[in-house]
Amino acid sequence: MTFGARLVDGLLEATVVGSFTKIGIEVRRRLEHWEDLDQVSMAGKVVLITGASSGLGMAAARRLARMGASVRIVGRDPAKTVAARDAIASESGHDDVGVYVADLSSLDDVRSLVAEVLDREDRLDVLVNNAGALLAERRESVDGHEMSFATMVLGPFALTEGLLPLLERTGGARVVNVSSGGMYTQRLVVDDLESRTGYRGSVAYARAKRALVVLTGEWGQRHAGSGVVFHAMHPGLAATPGVHASLPTFERVLGPLLRSPDQGADTIVWLAAAEEPTRSNGKFWHDRRPRGTHRLPTTREQPGERRRLWDLLVEQAGPSRRAGVDEPRPSAG
């Protein structure tokens, strides 16, 4: 990237409207030559995407299928997930699209999903943790955990740890964690990950997304040298069914500036397919470039909080973790 392009990109990144909306991605495409992902072959690669029955997950699945990947989508509603599979196959012109049904907020469902994937798949090149939950009122999962935390932190942790043997055996595999720009507003609060006091849906969502980014860095550090790379990204502000259902006023105000699902999913696909992401680990990306994880000094983790988050998830995930896992290369934080 030229100096001028870096300058413009930095100016965009300094603002929310300039960076997160469709303005950001459209300008950045013109700043430098963006690799044409449709020219990248994913033939022979197996990609598993959670929360793929609509929105960003479905957009990413459709594009990766068009690139030749064997796509496996995970959804909690059987009929909706099968319908999404049929639409992805039809729209991509590639019929190797499989379905797994699981609710990521349920640890039993995650355990069953891990067992089913290990039984059915002989390789896994990319795991995309995309499933999300933004609720107006506090609800708990079947395991008694706050729903956003269960769906976007605990469930992905158990799923990723359970599938790590297959990812490692495949070689050159990637884990892509889908976060949100909203996480910039919150810090990691290990003592209240489940929002037990003063619940606000948007805050619980942002805290969960912050935790997922922190977890990505931990995975990248703990499993360095394993042959698996871990990255997180945020899609900007995209018009998805989740935004429509949970943030109607936000959608109405910013409607013309919201990204399409395809635009929001672009960096997911790029992280899954391009070569550059294989040269680093544990980073946070937006519009195909690594970004800082903090915009406010008040969101930085306190000493020891990263390790406390990891230890808490190990304890809560229980037997869904892979057998024999140890504690490689813990972080100092």
Distances (CA, A) of 35 to 28, 173, 287: 12, 20, 12
Distance (Å, whole) CA 102 – CA 113: 6
Is 184 among the catalytic positions? no
Largest CA distance in the chain: 52
| Helix segments in 171-260, DSSP class H | 201-222, 241-246, 248-254
Query: What b-and-e string marks burial along 170-194, b requiring 16 or more CB atoms within 10 Å of the CB?
Result: beebbbbbbbbbbbbbbbbbbeebb
Q: Which member of 100, 184, 199, 205 is catalytic?
A: 205
Q: Which of 117, 122, 180, 121 is nearest to 151 (CA)?
A: 180
Taking 3-state DSSP, the helix, strand and coil percentages for the chain, each rounded to the nearest 5, stand at 55, 15, 35
215: burial class by Cβ within 10 Å (0-12, 13-18, 19+)?
Answer: buried
Distances (CA, A) of 49 to 74, 314, 332: 6, 23, 31
DSSP symbols for 133-180? ---SS--B-TTS-BHHHIIIIIHHHHHHHHHHHHHHHHSSEEEEEE--
Q: State residue 239 phi and psi, 5-degree precision.
A: -85, 100
What positions carry a catalytic annotation?
A: 205
